[in-house]
Structure 1
Amino acid sequence: MLKEAFQYLVSLKENKTYEIHGDTYSDHELVRIPVNVDRPNELEVNGLDSIVKLVRTELEMMENFPVFIRVSDPRRVNVFSTLDTVMGRDRLYCAVCDAPDFREGWREQEEAIIQLRSAFVPNEDTAYLLDLLSRIHKEEGVTTVDNGVSQSVEARAGVQLKQMVPVKPRVTLCPYRTFTEIEQPESEFILRLNENAGVGLFEADGGRWRLEAKRRIADYFEKKLAKEIEVGYVVVMM
């Protein structure tokens, strides 16, 4: 009895096919078992220089060339291998920028002054903004005159004297928002001030700074890994 039951259970596992109206049907669903391939764990770093060192040091261990360096965005770079014999890739390294990312929008006067001194590359317009903000009389508030194109604010000049100060509608600034190994791209910002001495900075370049940052990152790798690129071991792309 047990023998017959065992044979019956074995027969249930057998794959049977049937021809019906010229088509072949199976009573079992077949699943392909993929070949096990040992792959490295993706290593995360914070600088472009770390990617260069890793590629130079471990390139000899690679079996498939080229190795691709892709600038995914201004704050991330991914490194991966070409396809292997089973059409798979090794995700080798990634660089994630740890510099403080710029946040557009409104901020308090004190916060804006601190950010301009610590999170922006100094230029002519950061000096202009620091001078403007230092002369705004926050305790009494500010009075704004806005015609939709240009803006003026009532700012403090001395102890008692007040005057109307014209405000640039656009400023060119260079915040730290990508990897520090490259020169930070400049871009235009719309500048706004409100009655509570709030400072508004809004990106006004249509995202062109992102393309420029990616191009500069790609240029960085092309210079640092020129020999490896020349022999076809490394490919840099955006």
Structure 2
Amino acid sequence: MLTEEGLKFLMQLKDIEIVDHDGLQYSSRALHLIPEASPVAFATKSLAGIVELINKEHEHKRLNDLIIHIVDPIRVDVYSMLREDLGRFHLYSAIAELPGQNFGNYMNLETAIIRLKSTFVQTDARDKLIQVLGNIKEDAVKTSSDDGISQTVTAKTGIATVGNVKIEPIIKLAPYRTFIEVEQPEGEFLLRLRNGPEAALFEADGGAWKMQARKNIKEYFMDKLDDLVMLGKVIITE
């Protein structure tokens, strides 16, 4: 049924002239495309939320096929394929809720241990670092003279003994910094200590962990949406 808006549009067309000039066509009046109704992107905080939404809504007649765009380790957006007007619907977004990290800043050892226990995945390397930090004596940090990077500290080495312990400068750890549904990628960190005593972790892998995080997210969707991916109904891109 022709709407009032459509009728007005048709009435206006009768006064429009199309003029050919040098092989190009010109209109005597500017025409504006009536925008297609579009959904408001639904925000979620997990990859599981994205999977649930896609499974429930992918068969909607106006959605057709979908694109999952892994923007970075903490954000995923889902779009429709190109429409006739060459636009896309932005359907869903997922933004991970993660504990804040404090890389590059010195903190007292008690705070450092708490953060290691609460914001890093449990690994042998993490547990060893916690043990060393927990045994360091106050004002006992010094830089080795061999390379200026490795450090030694005075720490408890037994029930009643104290000795010098060399700290490995580069440690592989896995902080929580992508969606919890996927494996947290390990990264290399430079550990620095100073009198206080205080400790700081500096990222030392050039951001390589981000590539692994995006790969882990992609593998998650490949597994959870296997049927739709195989049918070409869902495309996953980084």
- Normalised by the length of structure 2, the TM-score is 0.82
Q: CA separation in 1, counterparts of 2:41 and 2:183? A: 27
DSSP 3-state at the match of 1:125: helix
What does 1:112-191 align with in structure 2 at a 5 Å threshold? Answer: 112-138=112-138, 141-146=139-144, 147-156=147-156, 162-191=162-191
Q: CA separation in 1, counterparts of 2:63 and 2:141? A: 66
- Which ranges of structure 1 fall in alignment gaps of 5 or more residues? 1-13, 16-21
1:5 corresponds in structure 2 to: none
Please report how far the alpha carbon of residue 143 of structure 1 lies from its aligned counterpart in structure 2 after TM superposition: 3.0
Q: CA separation in 2, counterparts of 1:166 and 1:86? A: 64
DSSP 3-state at the match of 2:69: strand
Indicate if the aligned counterparts of 1:151 and 1:169 stay in contact, CA closer than 8 A: yes
Q: CA separation in 2, counterparts of 1:80 and 1:66? A: 9
DSSP 3-state at the match of 1:193: strand
Q: CA separation in 2, counterparts of 1:117 and 1:130? A: 8
Q: CA separation in 1, counterparts of 2:92 and 2:108? A: 39
Percent of paired sites with the same residue: 34
What CA deviation, in whole Å up to 9, does each residue of 1:123-172 have, x standing for no partner? 1111111111111223xx23312342311122355798642211111111
| Distance of aligned partners of 1:143 and 1:226 in 2 relative to their CA distance in 1, 3 Å threshold | closer
Give the letter for the 1:145 counterpart.
T
Q: CA separation in 2, counterparts of 1:125 and 1:172? A: 7
What does 1:1-238 align with in structure 2 at a 5 Å threshold? Answer: 31-105=30-104, 106-138=106-138, 141-146=139-144, 147-156=147-156, 162-238=162-238
Give the letter for the 1:83 counterpart.
L
Indicate if the aligned counterparts of 2:44 and 2:92 stay in contact, CA closer than 8 A: yes
Give the letter for the 1:43 counterpart.
F
Q: CA separation in 2, counterparts of 1:206 and 1:143? A: 27
Indicate if the aligned counterparts of 1:173 and 1:189 stay in contact, CA closer than 8 A: yes
Q: Tell me whether 151-160 or 183-192 shows the greater mean CA deviation.
A: 151-160
- Which ranges of structure 2 fall in alignment gaps of 5 or more residues? 1-14, 17-21
Please report how far the alpha carbon of residue 35 of structure 1 lies from its aligned counterpart in structure 2 after TM superposition: 1.3
Larger Rg: 1
DSSP 3-state at the match of 1:129: helix
Q: Tell me whether 125-134 or 48-57 shows the greater mean CA deviation.
A: 125-134
DSSP 3-state at the match of 2:220: helix
Indicate if the aligned counterparts of 1:135 and 1:155 stay in contact, CA closer than 8 A: yes
Q: CA separation in 2, counterparts of 1:202 and 1:157? A: 26
| Distance of aligned partners of 1:158 and 1:110 in 2 relative to their CA distance in 1, 3 Å threshold | same
Indicate if the aligned counterparts of 1:64 and 1:84 stay in contact, CA closer than 8 A: no
Q: CA separation in 1, counterparts of 2:46 and 2:184? A: 14
Indicate if the aligned counterparts of 2:141 and 2:197 stay in contact, CA closer than 8 A: no
DSSP 3-state at the match of 1:137: strand
What CA deviation, in whole Å up to 9, does each residue of 1:155-207 have, x standing for no partner? 35579864221111111101111001011111111111011211111111111
CA RMSD of aligned residues (A): 3.0
Please report how far the alpha carbon of residue 63 of structure 1 lies from its aligned counterpart in structure 2 after TM superposition: 2.2
| Distance of aligned partners of 1:153 and 1:61 in 2 relative to their CA distance in 1, 3 Å threshold | same
Q: CA separation in 2, counterparts of 1:209 and 1:185? A: 6
Indicate if the aligned counterparts of 1:64 and 1:83 stay in contact, CA closer than 8 A: no
- Normalised by the length of structure 1, the TM-score is 0.82
